[in-house]
Amino acid sequence: MLRKHMFLALGLLVIASMVLGACAAPVAPPEKIIETVVVTKEVEVVPEVPLPDTLVICQGQQPETLYPYGGSMLAMSHVLEAVYDGPINTNTFSYQAVILEKLPSLADGDAVINTVTVKEGDKAVDDLGEVITLDPAADPPQKIRPAGCASADCAVEYTGGEVEMEQMVVTFKLMAGLQWSDGTPLTSADSVYAFNLQADPDTPTGKYVIERTTSYEAVDEVTTVWTGLPGYKDATYFVNFYGPAPEHVWGQYPAAELVEAVDANSLYVGWGPYIIDEWVKGDHISLHKNPNYWRASEGLPKFENLIYRFTGENSNANIAAILSGECDIVDQTSHLDDQSELLLELQAAGQVNATFVTGTVWEHADFNITPLPGSGFAGLDQDGDGLGPFGDVRLRRAVAMCMDRQAVVDTVMFGQSVVLDTYLPPEHPLFNASVTHYDFDVEAASALLDEIGWVDDDGDPATPRVAQGVTGVPDGTLLEFSYGTTSATQRMQATQVMAESMAQCGIKVNLEYYPASEWFADGPDGQLFGRRFDLGQFAWLTGVEPPCGLYQTENIPGPEDQNNPYTSKLYTYGWGGQNESGYSNTEYDAVCNAAVQALPGQPAYQENHLKSQEIFATDLPVVPLYLRLKLAATRPDMCNFIMDPTANSEMWNIENFAFGPLCGE
């Protein structure tokens, strides 16, 4: 508020008239005396507080590279969100167009399924989703889906000649007027260049969709068309747009050299809100506002300058940096998890904003249902059916009811996560809320254990139950098994809580912690994927597309030269299979396949994804535990910082970040 002071100045003006001496002359009356008051205001001007012009983001890790196709570190993604905007965002378990006019869809007609004719020698995708060259003499025979066939039930063997199959064609349109940060027009040709670059064998990126692509072409300045191989039905066809790459800058280098050349020569040209100025290795990356940003007319980005500072993973030091003002944001690569309680206290005191978001990484405890020889408790198989004690779904359900998962969420996760029922989080649009839920219930679990033959023979729940008439298990065997995981602090805390709760049911678990390299090693030597464990905890990543395929029979790991006993065929992925539980259910396999092979918007897509979760929760090959948290901290007056469950980086909307007076701009 301006302070005002009043000063008064008094001026007196006297005007007299001179009278000439003449005694007979009359004396003139005096003139009026006029007082004039002059008022002067003295205003104290308080200078305006300048708007902040620099945003400092502190990262626990430094990128290995800023070449988009050269790495996958989250630290790299954070920086590249400032250089590239989109082209497609993945938020709240769905997709959003950023520099495209819209996402194509079958309903709108910019995605279509055509009927085409294929013949011997043509490339196509077979009934299992693999790329093949049509050959009537192939051994084993090739099975394909002719036009109109949407499931394995109607697949036919290719015996030669011409066959009609279905082929997807998808059209994408860029927004008009886009520019690279150097002012060069950004066109559909840049997207085609990116496709060709990623298709190059010397570019270290996945080729799954590329291998199933017939063509990717630019038809005008803003339009590209993706055409899939005949037989390839891609549920996420609407994201088969390739983010543009600056051919006018990178085109002078072959793909093999770009991995090094982009960083070595600072070839950082993008279309996003900021432009990279310098990268001081081990210290920081500095950027400035991009004047050619397509949203510049909206006053974005908010800051003139942006700095990514690499501060390491010392959580105490990073929190201190927020409190001192050295950092405006401390990102999730700083691993603040071990200071969650402190952050919540500081937030309550108004000193920081702590953002906890359940992400897409879900922890689970897996039963070894079909163990390989040499397993411990899980390998007990006196009746020779190939199933150990965990082959009985009643035991799996009882164990689940004896694991106090809510206690883990309340204590280890500080109440910020949720207990899971399936491989999908409750926020997922395809989550089945009607599946069986297993509460912590010692009484119900004990009744199931008694029913199986695991009895409390001494009346002391603190001692393990023993087998009496349990199928395939010698009488007198203790209900005691190993519970293995990595030595990560959070996992150790979680398993200790659940070991104590299982003891209340008469289940004794021996906690075993392994280095990650040993725990996750491929079979036959790896504990987990060598299928030589009893109960094992680890995490998978879920996402927009439900991962039902994790638990299909064909995904069981095993020796490459041996048959999967459930299929009487060689293990499909050898030791690379992911269904280390050994779970197999033909109905589940069929329902999951039907879900994967349907397209979003088709009734079979939702119906089968819901059904697969129902079967999963009933059979319970693994106990879904909780969602891991994504955690970041910001200064208390930060606005527009939104961590999203499915956004890879919390910097996905960095152009909108602001703090203090900028929040009102």
Query: What is the distance between the alpha carbons of residues 600 and 127, in angstroms, rounded to a whole number?
Result: 19
Same domain, yes or no, for 266 and 336? yes
| SS3 category, 287 | strand
Q: pLDDT-derived band of residue 24, with 50, 70 and 90 as boundaries?
A: very low
Lowest-confidence segment of 6-20, 239-253, 328-342 by average pLDDT = 6-20
Same domain, yes or no, for 497 and 390? yes
Same domain, yes or no, for 390 and 496? yes
Can you read off the two tokens belonging to residue 137? 């003499």
Nearest to 217 by CA among 207, 208, 226, 209: 226
Q: Indicate the residue type of 178.
A: L
- The pLDDT value recorded for residue 386 is 87
| Three-class HEC string of 390-448 | HHCHHHHHHHHHHCCHHHHHHHCCCCCCCECCCCCCCCCCCCCCCCCCCCCCHHHHHHH
- The pLDDT value recorded for residue 16 is 32
pLDDT tens figures, 218-247: 999 999 999 999 999 999 999 999 999 999
Among all chains, which residue has been given the structure tokens 């839920």?
437
Same domain, yes or no, for 378 and 518? yes
Query: What is the distance between the alpha carbons of residues 482 and 500, in angstroms, rounded to a whole number?
Result: 14
Position 472 in a domain = yes
Can you read off the two tokens belonging to residue 526? 């790896």
Same domain, yes or no, for 499 and 537? yes
Strand partners, 539: 363
Q: At residue 293, does pLDDT exceed 70?
A: yes
Segment 577-599 mean pLDDT = 94
Position 311 in a domain = yes
Same domain, yes or no, for 282 and 364? no
Chain centroid offset of residue 262 CA:
26
Position 151 in a domain = no
Position 112 in a domain = no
The answer to whether 74 touches 33, Cβ cutoff 8 Å, is no
Query: What is the distance between the alpha carbons of residues 112 and 237, in angstroms, rounded to a whole number?
Result: 10
Same domain, yes or no, for 272 and 400? no
Share of the chain above pLDDT 70, in %: 92
Query: What is the distance between the alpha carbons of residues 570 and 46, in angstroms, rounded to a whole number?
Result: 80
- The pLDDT value recorded for residue 49 is 57
> At 342, which CATH number?
3.40.190.10
Position 568 in a domain = no
Same domain, yes or no, for 512 and 428? yes
Same domain, yes or no, for 407 and 454? yes
Can you read off the two tokens belonging to residue 468? 């009496």
Position 509 in a domain = yes
pLDDT tens figures, 116-126: 999 999 999 99
The torsion defined by the Cα of 636, 638, 644 and 645, in degrees rounded to 10, comes to -20
Segment 351-379 mean pLDDT = 94
Q: Residue 39 is inside which H or E element, if any?
A: strand 34-43
Position 206 in a domain = no
Q: pLDDT-derived band of residue 14, with 50, 70 and 90 as boundaries?
A: very low
114 phi and psi angles, rounded to 5 deg:
-100, 155
Same domain, yes or no, for 402 and 506? yes
Domain of 476 in residue numbering reads as 359-546+622-628
Segment 624-645 mean pLDDT = 97
The answer to whether 240 touches 209, Cβ cutoff 8 Å, is yes
Q: Where are the beta strands (DSSP E) in 184-302?
A: 213-218, 223-228, 274-280, 284-289
Q: Say whether the peptide bond before residue 140 is cis (omega within 30 degrees of 0).
A: yes
Segment 320-344 mean pLDDT = 95
Same domain, yes or no, for 402 and 498? yes
Q: pLDDT-derived band of residue 151, with 50, 70 and 90 as boundaries?
A: confident
Segment 53-80 mean pLDDT = 95
Buried b or exposed e, range 234-262, using 16+ CB within 10 angstroms? bbebbbbbbbbbbbebbeeeebeebbebb
Same domain, yes or no, for 471 and 363? yes
Q: At residue 640, does pLDDT exceed 80?
A: yes
Position 397 in a domain = yes
- The pLDDT value recorded for residue 47 is 58
- The pLDDT value recorded for residue 39 is 47
Q: pLDDT-derived band of residue 591, with 50, 70 and 90 as boundaries?
A: very high
Segment 374-403 mean pLDDT = 93
- The pLDDT value recorded for residue 383 is 86
Query: What mean pLDDT, rounded, does the chain reach?
Result: 92
Segment 64-86 mean pLDDT = 95
Number of independent structural domains in the chain: 3
pLDDT tens figures, 26-55: 444 444 444 444 545 555 555 565 778 999
pLDDT tens figures, 260-277: 999 999 999 999 999 999
> At 531, which CATH number?
3.10.105.10
- The pLDDT value recorded for residue 597 is 86
- The pLDDT value recorded for residue 71 is 86
Q: pLDDT-derived band of residue 606, with 50, 70 and 90 as boundaries?
A: very high
Lowest-confidence segment of 182-196, 266-280, 283-297, 559-573 by average pLDDT = 559-573
Q: Residue 34 is inside which H or E element, if any?
A: strand 34-43
Q: At residue 101, does pLDDT exceed 60?
A: yes
- The pLDDT value recorded for residue 11 is 34
Segment 283-305 mean pLDDT = 98
Buried b or exposed e, range 359-383, using 16+ CB within 10 angstroms? bbebbbbbbbbbbbeebbbbbbbee
Segment 615-623 mean pLDDT = 99
**3-state SS of the chain: helix, strand, coil percent to 5?**
25, 25, 50
Segment 186-212 mean pLDDT = 97
The answer to whether 580 touches 527, Cβ cutoff 8 Å, is no
